[in-house]
């Protein structure tokens, strides 16, 4: 504010508090030199005061302050910031004064571009008309028009948009201007602006793409009148189908049932319509929009694809996060020969269309979606598959209640054990101990239970989940397998820098020969990844001197590699 800025100036000038009022402070700026302020502070004082003065149309103050900035670079920046403030507030005379004061031509162009965007956003048409021609570089002038048109479109300032679009000299960039501005307008329900911009795109292919992108934005925000207008503008039927599919996914993700109901029947091709329902159901399931899912699933005409829809949507519903494939790189990081089966990546879930946002959701809503979808899958084999994939996703995110519901739904005992193993690995990666405890106990076959513990322990060790490792290792009934479990898990932990996990695992190897082998393998793994502290701990732990020498040789080779 002006008062805050002026008060700062008064303090700098050592003016008595009794005189520090807004009415007295502005004139006191004119006395800066007489008070002999330190030069470094004077520049900053002038810049901040000029910006406030520009916003409030204090022209005389600005005319005094700008030349007082001693540093030329800072003076240019002062003019840019002050002009941006003045342009937003419609202070044309102030802007006219400031723009020529920017000495550097490149920065003057930058000044005009920033000020034009600011003016366009606030519907200051006269200022926009003044600023755009002042951009000397034609390429930058076109870019200025594009940026300003987007700003104006957001707020629905149609007259500003109408001026800017024809001002773009390059036809390709003019189309780009219309596309980007239309998307901004559609996102903010500025229907009048959208209706003007879309037909203005000269290239038919780009016009169709403009409609698709704008419809996607409008559908997310429930602007269905805009969506209806845009869908019919797409000339090519294939692209119209694509428009409906993309917009339906966006609407479903945000729970916009009315928009989804309008869009799905508009997909002319039946195969694509089924695919539209599948993709949209996955989007809706991610956010727990049960009513949208309930509409979409029965709309899939092909029974096989309907089952696929349920499976993929259930998997999305059970999950609430993007799958982090790097977390499952366990043995893949340690060997070039093969990948660990336990390190397989879970199926890739929905890539959210609205970037930068991870919306909160209701846990209860997700469970209800899962329950609904599992029951819809008619084929028992596919229902088992549905439960297995969904259980993996739920376990990864610690959704114990969802896991408890899904596992018993796998009818085939062998597949149920496999479900527990895969889900336990997912849970172990993220340290969800209670989920792991539940799953291990459910595995009926002892051999498979050992396998479950071994594979889950390796992934837990790689990710430093010590408590999970401590629980799993003693659960391996076979001593030979337990030793092998400790050895492999120690390798994983050593490679990824989890010293406490390694210290726990090494003494758990009962057989001395195997313990030495465990240390050697872990030391090689640690050396390969530059984990020097691990090597120093592991080498002396090898009891046999010959093997200790071998350990040093192997670790040195790994480090050199």
pTM, entire model = 0.53
CATH code assigned at 81: 1.25.40.20
Domain contains 94: yes
pLDDT of residue 535: 66
Domain contains 178: no
Alpha carbon distance 153, 190 (integer Å): 7
Write the burial class of residue 160 (CB in 10 Å: 0-12 exposed, 13-18 middle, 19+ buried): buried
Domain contains 97: yes
- Of 428, 310, 419, 321, the closest CA to residue 371 belongs to 310
Who contacts 421 (Cβ-Cβ below 8 Å, separation ≥6)? 439, 443, 448, 451, 452, 455, 456
Alpha carbon distance 383, 48 (integer Å): 66
DSSP tag of 25: H
**What tokens were used for 238?**
């294939």
**What tokens were used for 291?**
């009513």
Alpha carbon distance 542, 213 (integer Å): 63
pLDDT of residue 316: 79
Domain contains 454: no
Domain contains 305: no
Alpha carbon distance 119, 102 (integer Å): 19
**What tokens were used for 300?**
């899939």
- Of 398, 468, 463, the closest CA to residue 440 belongs to 468
Per-residue pLDDT of the chain (561 residues; tens, 9 = 90+): 333 444 444 444 333 343 333 333 344 344 444 433 444 577 788 878 877 777 777 768 878 888 888 788 888 888 898 889 889 989 898 899 889 989 889 999 999 999 999 999 999 999 999 999 999 999 999 999 999 999 999 999 999 999 999 999 999 999 999 999 998 888 888 988 988 998 999 988 898 988 998 899 889 988 888 899 899 889 889 999 999 999 999 999 999 999 999 999 999 999 999 999 999 999 998 888 989 998 999 999 998 898 888 888 877 776 643 333 223 233 333 332 222 222 222 222 222 222 222 222 223 336 787 788 788 777 888 888 888 888 898 898 898 998 999 999 998 889 999 999 999 999 999 999 999 999 999 998 889 999 999 999 999 999 999 999 999 999 998 888 988 888 889 888 888 888 888 889 888 888 777 877 777 777 777 777 677 677 677 667 777 677 767 767 776 776 766
The tally of domains found in the chain comes to: 1
Alpha carbon distance 373, 314 (integer Å): 6
**What tokens were used for 369?**
């979606």
Q: At what angle do helices 105-121 and 72-88 cross, to 10 degrees?
A: 20
**What tokens were used for 454?**
């071994």
Domain contains 64: yes
Is the separation of the CB atoms in 429 and 460 below 8 Å? yes
pLDDT of residue 92: 92
Alpha carbon distance 389, 243 (integer Å): 30
Domain contains 89: yes
**What tokens were used for 443?**
């595995």
- Residue whose entry in the numeric block shows the structure tokens 């890739």: 348
Alpha carbon distance 140, 494 (integer Å): 54
Domain contains 117: yes
pLDDT of residue 429: 93
Alpha carbon distance 369, 362 (integer Å): 11
Note down the domain range covering 95: 1-136
Phi, psi of 267 (to 5 degrees): -75, 110
Is the separation of the CB atoms in 490 and 461 below 8 Å? yes
Alpha carbon distance 145, 122 (integer Å): 15
Who contacts 312 (Cβ-Cβ below 8 Å, separation ≥6)? 278, 281, 282, 347
């Amino acid at each position: 504010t002006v008062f805050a800025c002026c008060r700062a100036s008064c303090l700098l000038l050592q003016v008595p508090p009794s005189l520090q009022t807004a009415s007295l402070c502005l004139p006191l700026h004119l006395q800066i030199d007489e008070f002999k302020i330190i030069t470094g502070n004077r520049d900053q004082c002038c810049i901040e005061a000029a910006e406030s003065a520009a916003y409030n149309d204090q022209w005389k103050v600005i005319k005094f302050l700008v030349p007082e900035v001693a540093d030329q670079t800072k003076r240019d920046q002062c003019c840019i910031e002050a002009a941006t403030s003045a342009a937003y507030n419609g202070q044309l005379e102030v802007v006219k004064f400031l723009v020529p004061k920017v000495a550097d031509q490149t920065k003057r162009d930058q000044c005009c571009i920033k000020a034009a965007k600011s003016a366009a956003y606030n519907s200051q048409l006269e200022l926009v008309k003044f600023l755009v021609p002042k951009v000397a570089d034609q390429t930058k002038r076109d870019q200025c028009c594009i940026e300003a048109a987007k700003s104006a479109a957001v707020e629905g300032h149609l007259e500003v948009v109408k001026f800017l679009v024809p001002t773009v000299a390059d036809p390709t960039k003019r189309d780009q201007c219309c596309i980007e501005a239309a998307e901004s307008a559609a996102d903010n329900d500025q229907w009048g602006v959208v209706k003007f911009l879309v037909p203005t795109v000269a290239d038919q292919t780009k016009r169709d793409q403009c409609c698709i992108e704008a419809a996607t934005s409008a559908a997310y925000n429930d602007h269905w009148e805009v969506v209806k207008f845009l869908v019919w503008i797409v000339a090519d039927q294939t692209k119209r189908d694509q428009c409906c599919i993309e917009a339906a996914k966006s609407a479903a993700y945000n729970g916009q049932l009315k928009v989804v109901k309008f869009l799905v029947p508009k997909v002319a091709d039946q195969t694509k319509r089924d695919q539209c329902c599948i993709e949209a159901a996955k989007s809706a399931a991610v956010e727990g929009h049960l009513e949208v899912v309930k509409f979409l699933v029965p709309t899939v005409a092909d029974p096989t694809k309907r089952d696929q829809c349920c499976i993929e949507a259930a998997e999305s519903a059970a999950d609430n996060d993007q799958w982090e494939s790097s977390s499952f790189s366990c043995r893949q990081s340690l060997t070039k020969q093969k990948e660990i089966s336990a390190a397989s990546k879970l199926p890739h879930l929905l890539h959210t269309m609205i970037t930068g946002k991870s919306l909160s959701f209701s846990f209860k809503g997700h469970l209800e979606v899962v329950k609904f979808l599992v029951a819809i899958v008619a084929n028992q084999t596919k229902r088992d598959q549905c439960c297995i994939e969904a259980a993996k996703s739920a376990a990864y995110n610690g959704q114990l209640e969802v896991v408890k519901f899904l596992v018993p739904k796998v009818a085939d005992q062998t597949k149920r054990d496999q479900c527990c193993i895969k889900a336990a690995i997912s849970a172990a990666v993220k340290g969800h101990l209670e989920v792991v405890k539940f799953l291990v106990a459910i595995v009926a076959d002892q051999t498979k239970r050992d396998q479950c513990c071994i594979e889950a322990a390796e992934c837990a060790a790689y990710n430093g989940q010590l408590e999970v490792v401590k629980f799993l290792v003693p659960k391996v009934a076979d001593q030979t397998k337990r030793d092998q479990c400790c050895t492999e898990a120690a390798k994983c932990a050593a490679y990824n820098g989890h010293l406490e996990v390694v210290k726990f695992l090494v003494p758990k190897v009962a057989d001395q020969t195997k313990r030495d082998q465990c240390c050697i393998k872990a030391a090689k793994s640690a050396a390969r990844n530059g984990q020097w502290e691990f090597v120093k701990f592991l080498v002396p732990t090898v009891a046999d001197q010959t093997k200790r020498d071998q350990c040093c040789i192997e670790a040195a080779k790994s480090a050199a590699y």
